[in-house]
Structure 1
Amino acid sequence: MSSSGDIRQRLSAIPHVLADFLHSLPNDHPVQIALRTYALSLSLALGPAFLPFAISAKARRNGLAGLKTILKRELGVSGFAFAMTAGVGGGTAIRMLWDMLATSAEPDVASENKDTNHTWTKLWHWLSSLKDSQKTFISNMLSASVAISLFHSRNGRSSSSASSTTILPSIPPIPADTAQRPRSGVKSSITLDLTLLLLVRAMDSLIERAEKRNSPSPTERDIERRKRRLRTRLDALVFWACSARIMWCFFYEPERLPRSYNKWIMTLANIDGRILTALRALRSGAWSYKRHHSTQPDLLSSHARDLGYPSMWGDVAQLPAYGGKEASAAWKRLGVSGRAGVGGIPCELVHGSVTGGSCTANTMIRGAEAFAEAFAIYLPVHFLPILLTRPRSLLHARSLLRTLLSVLRSASFLSTFVSSIWAAVCLTRTLLLARLFPGVSHDVWDGPFGCTFAGSLVCGGSIWIEHGQRRGEIALYVLPRAIRACLPERWIRSGSRSVKYLERLTFMLSLSTILTAAIHQSESLRGLSRWTVAFVMNGPNAGFWKRKREETSTPPTPAESTPPSDTALPES
């Protein structure tokens, strides 16, 4: 009886012994880094993985079988959490082992094999001559190669069925009539989005490092401020170009965008899928106002009936292709008001159930709806970092007001992004350009270089509403998706060795650059990458994390009460 009690006592003491052992290790020890990386990666992987299981009735009917499949996938060796732990924690372990060997593995000059001894001596001296940052980079390269190999060990699985390695929610795909998905069975890398994300962050780190190489003297502060203003302008330019490409792909080539991102834009745009199908048919020639031809004659007729309008309003054979008197006569015959002098689809069908034929009301309502949704998204984005680091600052009215104003500013940015697209569409096809040039057919105004092109171009200007520091983080968020949308689709899905090895090399170089910068030049990182890597590599006592906790014990100054600009962004 006493022996069993001793066993239970010893077993109960194991967690305490383990906790004491972990607390005895420094925060930058490989074991500590591996534990933090695994915990963070697992939370990022299981959250999106459990989301379909939680909201899908089909997933719930599968019961424990579906849950077991998710856990087996994410807790396995090739899962996101284990692979990232190998890539991040493995680098620090290799670096520590390197230092240990450097002090003990002196070349044996008395070796009988002189050729081998000479080679080893040269190699040892070369390795010893490397800088600390170079040793760290090489160590991270080795561990990153292990990580990407683990990711790619999921043989025979396409990106559509693999788990989310892009740290994005796994949202069910949009309906077939609103997106042209690639045919099944086509090979695709499951890590492409993650690789592009790391590439963008690594390149940003290198650019930031080049700018800060020479620290400014007091007399050069004005020059430094001008450089910062130039950087925010470049961030705005990057966002504008990326958003234009992303929105154009949303209209015409949605398969180039991640499914979850496509779904999110679709929800925010609140546009009927049949309108998007008609736009894509115009681009391919399957729909033409001039020829009064459509391969799907009932496409927009059914949309008109569902909205309560006559089906003739969506009949391509009845719709005028050009503006002028003929268009006015056609609209009078069809019973459409407020569209005299222009052709194309009636605005009532384009606006959908949001409003009637008023383009002004449609733009305002769309903007208000987007503002409400964006406010709900950005509220936790701005408040959670403060609640986690300095919650007492929210007790001060000035700090609370600053944070609330930041939320309103971010919500206004996203609202303007959405409403500007609708305003550009209506100005192009109805209110301005189509009236100025009635001789141009609506195959042009409603085509890929008409209203949708104008909307894609103008929406990026909304970034100027955001704070200067947040422009950079938003630009870094959309840039990987824009790069993905510009890559040749046939080449990406070819499964060729060039794609495989180029992606592997990019992944290894990018992850190594970020991890090396986190240790040797942490100031070159910014935004989400800075917060994440600082916590993983150095723990909660790292830099600003420690300072933020200390700030909770003292009232914040106006400068300290400003909400952090380097917070994670939603899918905007």
Structure 2
Amino acid sequence: MASTSSLRWWSHYVAEQLHTFSDDHPLQIALRTYSLALSLSLSPVLAGFLAKPRRSGAAQLLRALRRELGFTGFASAFTVAIAGGAALRSLLAYLEKEQQGILPLRAKTFLSRLKDVHKTFSANALSAYIAIALLQHRRSRPSTPSTHRSSGITPIQRSSPTIDLTLLVLVRALDSVVRSVLFSHSTTQDVLSSGELKRAENRRRTLSARLDAMVFWASSARIMWCFFYEPQRLPRSYNTWIMTLANIDPRILGALRAIREGRWSYVRRIAVPSDLLSSLSRDLGYPESWGSVTRLPAFGGPAANGAWKTLAVSNRPNLGGIPCELVHGGIGGGSCAASAALRSGKAFAEAMLIYLPVHVLPILLYRPRKLTRVHNIMNTLLSVTRSATFLSSFVSSIWVAVCLTRTLLLARLFPWISHDFWDGPHGCAFLGTLVCGGSIWIEQGRRRGEMALYVLPKAIRACLPEAFLRSGLRVQLLERLVFVASLATLLTKFVHDTSSLRGLPRWALTFVMNGSNAGFWKKKRQDTSDSPPPRTPYTI
């Protein structure tokens, strides 16, 4: 009882002492940063623990706790980066104003000549460098030589484990710089009329929407290209999720990659492995000959009809290539329209399950009273439906493009072009990667920007050469430079140009730097008509 009472007294005393510090004190910033970063790093682990058997899940959870609670964990590193920068700024301000002669006169003069933005950037850069050094030290510890021999992998062959985090910070920093340059209010706007100001704001929003849509389109095109042809460039979990949502048989993807690599050819009658699609045809309940490259016509036109008559395929007159039944994977049979509609409906249902908690949980946590009004519930459901429609359109547009290319339109217009081209890397899959990104216009403007910034780091990662990512010390040093410059820019922008930030960085930094009593958060709590805090979109 005495120990419990002492612990309770001690916790009460610590809490009272913390309240004596202001919300922007470095210690308060450190506590908020650590709690938020720890929750972000442990949430996926806890989800995996609940989904796995108790014994293996518990072992994984213990390993994750040891890793994340250590000094080189994600939470500790980002606490050093954010709270350390705040502490250094406070120290510089104190040294500049102190009268006891701690600093030489020349150093104090140098500090007084520096602009505030330069002091802020320098302090944040130093703390960011310590943070990335901690993360890379934890994640680059070499394993034992026996492990290397058994796996056949040496430390220099591994890509940087912090590259995804670095690219994420880089993209957010670039976004803040672009918005600061393109969308900042000029001093001449003070003399503009209200109508002119409104038109200028509308132009900025239109430009921002177009830039976001263009970034999403380009990023999603690269990601889907890698999904079809170079899946090793994408994170394994991300690749698996796309595979599940697209509902495509891996053997179809194998055939696309074999055509690109020259291991499958209608014209040359070769297929490696020989039963790649024959096994798919058999599993779907069709004759194995439908998947045999030696029996399939390479070109369209009347000459192909004889082969289809022999194979008993009735829905590809004047066309070559793989029968639609195999491409569709048994969904919709040989009807391209039915296949696209069924896939769109399935993707819509799965997207509703994804986006419903994404939209509703923030409201339940921050403004539960909002759900007591019918029109607010309807607006939330409309937002969920809109997001689900976007994702289902993303999926179905790829299939529609594939069918238009190889069956419904282009292959019929140009029957003398072989299906080595129509089913190759510059044919149906390529057109599908180009058109799917246009579905972003279905989404709301604010979420459109968040989705663009969500997929851009993955697209950049997919563009980097694997040899560079596995080059050891060289990429590690370059990554440190990029991370330091990016995080320092992001933190400096928050202090001196908060309006240039948007979405998750602005929401998180407002909380960790100013606390829940900041005006940004007060407005969120008081105005129930506002949208919930920005959410990380789970999408392609």
Tell me the TM-score normalised to structure 2 length. Answer: 0.92
Residues 371 and 411, structure 1, Cα contact 8 Å, conserved in 2: yes
Query: Does residue 319 of the first structure (1) align with residue 296 of the second (2)?
Result: yes
Same amino acid, percent of matched pairs: 58
The CA deviation at 1:44 is 1.4
Which residue in the other structure is 2:15 paired with? 19
Which residue in the other structure is 1:346 paired with? 323
The CA deviation at 1:276 is 0.7
Report the CA distance shift for 1:35/1:465 in structure 2 as closer, same or farther (over 3 A). Answer: same
Which residue in the other structure is 1:570 paired with? 538
Question: Could you give the per-residue CA deviations for residues 517-571 of structure 1, whole angstroms, max 9, x where no partner exists?
Answer: 222221111112211121121121223311122235xxxxxxxx35348332123
Which residue in the other structure is 2:135 paired with? 151
The CA deviation at 1:213 is 4.3
Question: Could you give the per-residue CA deviations for residues 262-316 of structure 1, whole angstroms, max 9, x where no partner exists?
Answer: 1211111011111111111111111111111012001111111111111111111
1:344 alignment partner, SS class: coil
Query: Does residue 246 of the first structure (1) align with residue 223 of the second (2)?
Result: yes
Q: Of 423, 429, 436, which residue of structure 2 is paired with 1:452?
A: 429
Report the CA distance shift for 1:257/1:569 in structure 2 as closer, same or farther (over 3 A). Answer: same
Give distance in 2, aligned partners of 1:254 and 1:63: 28
Give distance in 1, aligned partners of 2:502 and 2:409: 43
What are the residue-to-residue correspondences of 1:438-517 with 2, within 5 Å? 438-497=415-474, 499-517=475-493
Query: Does residue 69 of the first structure (1) align with residue 37 of the second (2)?
Result: no
RMSD of Structure 2 on Structure 1 (CA): 2.2
Residue type of the alignment partner of 2:89: R
Give distance in 1, aligned partners of 2:17 and 2:307: 83
The CA deviation at 1:504 is 0.6
Q: Of 155, 161, 164, which residue of structure 2 is paired with 1:190?
A: 161
Tell me the TM-score normalised to structure 1 length. Answer: 0.87
Which residue in the other structure is 1:264 paired with? 241
1:316 alignment partner, SS class: coil
The CA deviation at 1:8 is 5.1
Report the CA distance shift for 1:157/1:424 in structure 2 as closer, same or farther (over 3 A). Answer: farther
1:541 alignment partner, SS class: coil
Query: Does residue 29 of the first structure (1) align with residue 25 of the second (2)?
Result: yes
Which residue in the other structure is 2:113 paired with? 129
What are the residue-to-residue correspondences of 1:23-422 with 2, within 5 Å? 23-57=19-53, 60-62=54-56, 64-104=58-98, 107=101, 120-154=104-138, 156=140, 186-210=157-181, 211-214=183-186, 216=189, 217=192, 218=194, 219-422=196-399
Give distance in 1, aligned partners of 2:185 and 2:110: 26
1:299 alignment partner, SS class: coil
Aligned length: 525
Report the CA distance shift for 1:23/1:122 in structure 2 as closer, same or farther (over 3 A). Answer: same
The 4+ residue runs of structure 1 with deviation greater than 4 A are 5-8, 105-108, 155-159, 182-185
Give distance in 2, aligned partners of 1:184 and 1:362: 46
Residues 469 and 565, structure 1, Cα contact 8 Å, conserved in 2: no
Residues 243 and 460, structure 1, Cα contact 8 Å, conserved in 2: yes
Query: Does residue 424 of the first structure (1) align with residue 401 of the second (2)?
Result: yes
Residues 208 and 524, structure 1, Cα contact 8 Å, conserved in 2: yes
Give distance in 2, aligned partners of 1:452 and 1:8: 66
Q: Of 494, 503, 525, which residue of structure 1 is paired with 2:501?
A: 525
Residues 89 and 120, structure 2, Cα contact 8 Å, conserved in 1: yes
Give distance in 1, aligned partners of 2:536 and 2:93: 35
Report the CA distance shift for 1:392/1:304 in structure 2 as closer, same or farther (over 3 A). Answer: same
Give distance in 2, aligned partners of 1:564 and 1:67: 31
Give distance in 2, aligned partners of 1:61 and 1:495: 36
1:153 alignment partner, SS class: helix
Question: Could you give the per-residue CA deviations for residues 191-238 of structure 1, whole angstroms, max 9, x where no partner exists?
Answer: 111111111111111111222142634333312211211211111111
Give distance in 1, aligned partners of 2:100 and 2:115: 18
Question: Could you give the per-residue CA deviations for residues 54-103 of structure 1, whole angstroms, max 9, x where no partner exists?
Answer: 3344xx44465433222212222222111111111111122222222223
